[in-house]
Amino acid sequence: MARRLGTTPFRELLPDSLSSDPSVRAAAAALDEVLDATTRAIPGVLLYARLAHDTGFVEPVAMLPPLARLSELSGGLASLPEPVLDLLAWQLHVEGYEAAVDVAAKRQLIAGSLLLHRRRGTPWAVRTALETALRLPTVIRQWWEYEGRPYFFRVRLDVSEAGLDETGIANAVQLIFDHKNVRSWLDCLETVTTRPLPVSIAVAGIMRTMNRVRLWFPPKPVPSGRVHVGLGSTRYSRSVIRPWTPPRPVPDLRGRIAFAIISQSRSIVCPKP
């Protein structure tokens, strides 16, 4: 009969010669609580499995069935606390760890540290480190893309969603120098802010109907000497389409057309090589 870790009492593991002794059975029952707590604590040492579960940065390796069952018995893999993350960052020598804006960014840096070390010195490593630590969209342009000097490059950070102060700029420059190659030089660091300014314009149709009443005389000759006087009316309508800007708030109009104006500002930091 198969025995499973975490669900099998200790006395069932004893041979018949010992399990029949009442004193041994009592001692085994007393050990069950200690062994059960120790067994349920085993998933806590699965640091990298917990890190992969939290971040999804790397594809988690399937755990062994006994460990998977113990993880389910313990309520799943718990998130790593920040003190443990600090120790892992020191162990893995994670550059830019101090520049992380939050705990989630620290987890991402640690989870991807091996890949960053493997690809260090490439534009991918510089962009990934900036986007992971600062949570800012990053664009890197090589010198031939903007007719710059050989072996120079530019970095652009989109700070529309989150601002960037002097400390953040210093951290960004440090991240760039930690992950770029030796022969490449930072030409300038740009920060771009984009703000959409929506303007709603609606087109409405105006219809006007006019009625005009006038006397009508039949054409000559007048038959039989009789005089006929008739009363007639004509009707015509005219439609005019004019652009119309509705007052705010904009009412619920069908077929309205909206335009957007984008305001963009940027700053440039050019460190000396």
Within a domain: 60: yes
Write down how long the chain is.
273
Residues 63 and 108 in one domain: no
Within a domain: 27: yes
- Name the pLDDT band for 133 (thresholds 50, 70, 90): very high
The closest of 58, 193, 187 to 136, measured between CA atoms, is: 193
Residues 65 and 95 in one domain: no
Residues 155 and 51 in one domain: no
State the residue range of the domain holding 94. Answer: 82-196
Count of domains for the chain: 2
Distance CA 181, CA 79 (A): 34
- Rounded (10°) angle between helices 65-73 and 22-40: 90
Q: What is the pLDDT of residues 232-257, one digit of tens each?
A: 555 545 555 555 555 655 555 455 55
Within a domain: 104: yes
Residues 68 and 86 in one domain: no
Share of the chain above pLDDT 90, in %: 26
pTM: 0.59
Within a domain: 219: no
Q: Choose one of 196, 219, 252: the last residue of a domain.
A: 196
Residues 117 and 181 in one domain: yes
DSSP 3-state of 149: coil
Residues 66 and 125 in one domain: no
Which of 31-35, 61-65, 113-117 shows the lowest per-residue confidence on average (mean pLDDT)? 61-65
